[in-house]
Structure 1
Amino acid sequence: MTTTTDTEIRIDPLWRSWEGAHGGHVAALALAAVRDRFTGGAHPVRTLTTHYLAPVGDGPLHFSGAAPAGPGRRTATCVFTGHQNGVPVISGSALFGSGRQGPSYDGSPVPGVPEPQDCRRLELPGELSPFARQLEIRPATADLPLAGGDRAELTAWIRFLDGRALDAPAAVTLTDVLPPALYARWRSARPVPTAELTVHLTDALDDGPHEGWALVRIRTGHAGSGWAVDDSAVWSADGRLLALARQSRVVRPQPAAGSVNS
């Protein structure tokens, strides 16, 4: 037996990216739309996968989904689709699961970097990342966007300027807020939209949200044939791993001069 539902949400126009709405924001909205509908908030989210079928505009986004129903289940899986104007623009799935006793291991320790107050604030170009105006970003290493560096990796302290807590949707958003890691090697920008994003949330969120700064790292594992694979991690200010993510990106050709906003 399955349960189905449909809900409508609005895309915040402030979370606009180069091609439509910011992918991490859209994924976080998808999670919020289906979480309570299918689990009643009984189970924390463990994995969220989002496929981006088309750029998401500012209009209403209608989510429909289905999930197995049954008493006493320790896990629940939901599949969902988001439509705008009757056209599917995203699809995906979410896995929820209750906690239990078990072994622990941390294979992604927090990097040793300066504290946020010891890092300078970064202002991303508004025409490239309009959504970045909702964030305070302080690079924590010498790697900077469009600096022509040797490695495709960026690490920064980030916090939401609206003061929102670091819950699961916020962690999902943060996995995608830094520029594509290839930007650390390039000196000029080009669109690198996300085609698929999978986020794994950790038990650090089981007891509730965290507050303040998060440390976010993104690195490119491979790029070629117009595609790139980025891995990102999000830690709380006290060094707890909140999320790990991997995304497939499309590397667009360099736009002609003066066509950034076209």
Structure 2
Amino acid sequence: MQLQQQAPPTTRVVPHGWQPAVTAGDLLAQPAPVVVPRDWWSWAGAHGGLLVALAAADAASVAPEAALRSSTAQLLRPVRGPLVLRSALVHAGRRITTVRTEGTVDGRTALVVHSTFGAPNDARTAGADPLPVPLVHRPEDLEPFVPPAELVPFGRHVDIRPTDGVLPLTGGPTARLSAWVRLREEDGAPGPLRTTVLADALAPSLYATLRVPTAVPTVELAVHHRSPAPVDSDDPWLLVRARTDWSDEGWVSEAVDLWDRAGTHVATSRQLRLVS
């Protein structure tokens, strides 16, 4: 099965006339237990980036005055039912707060997430050399790409604009993907929770070298957020560049970087995947 690009839309209506009943914001604000609709699934269960964002949102209730700096998750089994989240404070220091969140479905642990929070706009943080943004066309000048809904229902919530001719399932020589992405139903610059969702928005970068779809579920996912500086723009787009560092005996290590339209590097993500 080949994934096809679509002609540029004239509005922000989701393809094929489909309209979502529940947005990312609805889910992130939903009290536990969280019921993730099937249109937010990827393959056999709820989308991994969304699950980690839900856990981080729950953890934020334990550290309400701090800024999310990282989420490190172990995704143990697919989430197909109501997700119960329980967050507990692990450490509360002067500059660092750590919260552990366990997500269970029917009493069985489905994910464990450690969230690290820091003081917002800490003046003592020295900025290192930024990761330069790749030179690409604007998202408005690029054609959208829609994954098949029967495999990745979550893809209908995300506007994906590949920046080059490297697409999933085209059997290319390099395991890398690059695209502008945004949540279709929401405006405004994405904060750390939505950045967490979008960090997992693309197909596995290994797909650039494959021709037949196969499940490559995430086993571990870590997202590191840069200093949450004041937002100067309401632009919803993030440029996502994903690459496979290595694959061996069915295991895949993937690195993802994200920039906003102003060229600011906003987050880095790493995933450990397992080819099913």
- TM class by shorter chain equals 0.7 to 0.9
In the alignment, which of 163, 175, 184 is matched to residue 199 of structure 2? 175
Q: 52, 73, 80: which one pairs with 1:50?
A: 73
Q: Is the 8 A contact 2:38 2:153 kept in 1?
A: no
Aligned: 1:153 with 2:176: yes
Q: Distance in 1 between matches of 2:54 and 2:125?
A: 31
Task: Give 1:224's aligned residue.
Answer: 248
Give unmatched runs, 5+ long, in structure 2.
Answer: 1-30
What is the CA–CA distance in structure 1 between the aligned matches of 2:183 and 2:91, rounded to whole Å? 36
For the 8 Å contact 1:219–1:231, the answer to whether it is kept is yes
Checking the alignment, whether the CA contact within 8 Å between 2:52 and 2:113 is kept in structure 1 is: no
- Whether the 8 Å contact between 1:196 and 1:249 is mirrored in structure 2 is yes
CA distance in structure 1 between the partners assigned to 2:180 and 2:213 by the alignment: 22
1:260 alignment counterpart: none
CA offset at residue 107 of structure 1?
A: 4.4
Matched-pair contact (CA < 8 Å) for 2:84–2:104? yes
How far apart are 1:210 and its partner, in Å?
4.9
Aligned to 1:191: 215
Shift of 1:111: 0.6
Question: Matched residues in 2 for 1:219 and 1:68: separation?
Answer: 33
Query: For 1:97-116, what aligned pairs fall within 5 Å after superposition?
Result: 97-98=118-119, 99-116=122-139
Say whether residues 1:39 and 2:39 are aligned partners. Answer: no
Instruction: Report the AA paired with residue 87 of structure 2.
Output: G
Distance 1:206 1:12 in 2: 33
What does residue 143 of structure 2 align with?
120
How many Å separate the matches in 1 of 2:123 and 2:68?
14
User: Is residue 2:50 matched to residue 1:25?
Assistant: yes
The answer to whether structure 1 residue 212 and structure 2 residue 233 are counterparts is no
Q: TM-score, normalised by structure 1?
A: 0.87
Equivalent position to 1:66, from 78, 88, 91? 88
Mapped partners of 1:219, 1:69: distance in 2: 33
Query: Which secondary structure does the structure 2 equivalent of 1:30 belong to?
Result: helix
Question: Partner of 1:237 in structure 2?
Answer: 261
Between 82-91 and 233-242, report the one with greater CA deviation.
233-242
User: Aligned-pair distance for 1:220?
Assistant: 0.2
Distance 2:63 2:147 in 1: 38
Deviates more, 1:15-24 or 1:102-111: 102-111
- How many aligned positions are there? 242
Q: Deviations over 1:17-58 (max 9, x none)?
A: 1121110011111111111x2111x1111110111111011x
How far residue 106 of structure 1 moved from its aligned partner, in angstroms, is 3.2
Preserved CA contact (<8 Å) 1:19 1:193 = no
Q: Do 1:233 and 1:244's aligned partners in 2 also have CA atoms closer than 8 Å?
A: yes
Aligned equivalents of 2:32, 2:229: Cα separation in 1: 25
Secondary structure, aligned partner of 1:11 = coil
User: Which letter maps to 1:117?
Assistant: E
Structure 1 vs Structure 2: percent identity of aligned residues?
Answer: 35
Match of 2:25 in 1: none
1:68, 1:49 → 2: CA distance?
14
Measured at CA, do residues 107 and 225 of structure 1 come closer, stay the same or move farther in structure 2, by a change above 3 Å? Answer: farther
Asked whether the 8 Å contact 2:91–2:98 carries over to 1, the reply is: no
Which residue of structure 2 aligns with residue 248 of structure 1? 272
* Structure 2 length-normalised TM: 0.83
Structure 1 gap ranges (5+): 1-5, 253-262
What's the secondary structure of 1:76's corresponding residue?
strand
Query: Which deviates more, 106-115 or 150-159?
Result: 106-115
Cα 1:198–1:210, aligned 2, differ >3 Å: closer, same or farther?
A: farther
Deviation at 1:127, TM superposition (A): 1.6
Shift of residue 120, structure 1, vs aligned partner: 1.1
- Note the aligned Cα RMSD (angstroms): 1.8
**In the superposition, relative to structure 1, how do residues 68 and 92 fare at CA in structure 2: closer, same or farther (>3 Å)?**
closer
Aligned position for 1:14: 39
